[in-house]
Structure 1
Amino acid sequence: MINTKLILDYLKELKRNNNKEWYAAHKEERKRAEEEFEKLIQELIMRIGKFDKSILHNNPKDLTFKLVRDTRFSHDKSPYNPTFRAHISSKGKLPIPVGYFISISPDHMSFLGGGLFADMFSDATEMIRNYLVLHPKKFLQIINDKEFMNYFSVLGTKLKNVPKGYDPDSDVAEFLKYKSFYLESYIQDSEILNAECFIDDAVKKFEAMVPFNTYLNKALKEFQMPLR
């Protein structure tokens, strides 16, 4: 079985010793923790693939994010983010199309997520807003579903007012203010330590977010990632 304790233990130590010397001295521990995390992602791919076959081709190693932080524009100059993260979607870890996000971090900061986290793509935001205007009932049906509401509410960066060009009296007016549209479900460390139950719970929540992700991906069908 996947050793989720090894993952959390490494991240806890990295959080306490967030410096280059400790990181270099504990390379082997990091590799073992990364291997366990990749096993976890592989198990999730196989289980999610039962209801979303579009993600089955992914290699776990290609879906993970680096621990090294970009500190150039941050007040926090600690060199590492003590978090193992992965985004599982039909196009890997790209933010669009949206998929299934997992973030494991010590001290009860782990969460499962879905939807569009990135709010810097103005084209994507506009596409979703326009789709909301055309299909408001479907969106409201999805987010008011009983199972969905058991786990999630829609989160995201918001404007104070409905942007110009959109009806402030629309049934989805509140959501037209959003620049990003995402879901989060936080997880206690103790839940992660029971790997089998954690995976079962994660799969259940990921399946519950499928209609939401599908809706956004229909809205984002023509989106093109900006060229670097």
Structure 2
Amino acid sequence: MHLIDLQAFLSELSENNNRAWFVMNKPRYDILRAEFLQLVTELITGIQKFDAAITGCEPKKALFRINRDVRFGHDKSPYKTTFSSSILPSGRKKPSEGGGPAYYFQLDANGRLFFACGEYMPPADRLKAIREQIINDEAGFEKLLKDKKLKQTFGELQEEGKLKRPPKGYDADLKHIEYLKLKNFMVWTECPYQGLGSDEVKQTLLKAYQSALPLVQWLRGA
């Protein structure tokens, strides 16, 4: 994938986020989209080598549309300024749709590669199942928290959107109460993609995703 061209396109799009500009530059977008699809296809093939559950994921279904849903937000810009993908066995793009843990990444207009694993804003029944798994599998959860490769690559579980108080029905003195307050069960990090080739991005992601496999497998067990 021509990452220099991708950043140039996304940067220009961020400054001209309107339909007229996009239509004029649609041929550029189509080429970049095809290259991005190829990157995702190769990434899925690589992930399959350590996570066989991904085998059925269709690359086209793993890509997010560039069009924004502007119905409910104040920002009416019609296009996203990222190319992004979410890889799940189910083919659904969002863990919040009940698809379970995902391998996610995006390339943005500022030359940043953002990548994550886990479940973002899972629905209520799924969130309850994860919380029950924390309580019922203390040993497995503690082993996950101590996993060296996971921590070296991503750090701790992210606390974005964490509850200030214990969730309803859970005692404040439970051993892992701070983790029971989480509404997301994700790890993520980012790095520049300027100067990298497509294969270097792919290898960076594959190495990171393999380090996050214990989190993915633990979540699937919930």
Instruction: Indicate whether the TM-score tops 0.5.
Output: yes
Q: Distance in 2 between matches of 1:145 and 1:98?
A: 18
SS of 2:17's equivalent in the other structure is coil
Asked whether the equivalents of residues 7 and 34 of structure 1 are also in contact (C-alpha less than 8 Å), the reply is no
Q: Distance in 2 between matches of 1:12 and 1:130?
A: 44
Q: Which residue of 1 aligns with 2:187?
A: 183
Asked whether the equivalents of residues 107 and 189 of structure 1 are also in contact (C-alpha less than 8 Å), the reply is no
Q: Cα deviation per residue 1:172-202 (whole Å; 9 max; x = unaligned)?
A: 11110011211111121326x3222221111
Q: Distance in 1 between matches of 2:202 and 2:62?
A: 17
Greater Cα offset, 59-68 or 32-41: 59-68
SS of 1:186's equivalent in the other structure is strand
Q: Distance in 1 between matches of 2:177 and 2:55?
A: 36
Q: Distance in 1 between matches of 2:162 and 2:126?
A: 14
Q: Which residue of 1 aligns with 2:5?
A: 6
Amino acid in the other structure paired with 1:61: K
1:99 aligns with 2:102: yes
SS of 2:43's equivalent in the other structure is helix
Asked whether the equivalents of residues 7 and 36 of structure 1 are also in contact (C-alpha less than 8 Å), the reply is no
Q: Distance in 2 between matches of 1:131 and 1:145?
A: 18
Deviation of the 1:144 alpha carbon:
1.7
Q: Which residue of 1 aligns with 2:87?
A: 88
Residues 1-228 of structure 1: matches in 2 within 5 Å? 2-92=1-91, 93-95=93-95, 96-119=99-122, 121-152=123-154, 153-155=156-158, 156-190=160-194, 193-219=196-222
Deviation of the 1:109 alpha carbon:
4.0
Aligned residues: 216
Q: Which residue of 2 aligns with 1:222?
A: none
Identity of aligned residues (%): 31
Deviation of the 1:137 alpha carbon:
2.2
Q: Distance in 1 between matches of 2:76 and 2:84?
A: 20
Deviation of the 1:164 alpha carbon:
3.0
SS of 1:130's equivalent in the other structure is helix
Q: Distance in 1 between matches of 2:108 and 2:85?
A: 12
Q: Distance in 2 between matches of 1:138 and 1:85?
A: 31
Structure 1 residue ranges without an equivalent (≥5)? 220-228
Normalising by the residue count of structure 1, what TM-score does the alignment of the two structures yield? 0.89
SS of 2:194's equivalent in the other structure is helix
SS of 1:56's equivalent in the other structure is helix
Structure 2 residue ranges without an equivalent (≥5)? none
Normalising by the residue count of structure 2, what TM-score does the alignment of the two structures yield? 0.91
Q: Cα deviation per residue 1:5-46 (whole Å; 9 max; x = unaligned)?
A: 232222222112111100111111010010110011011011
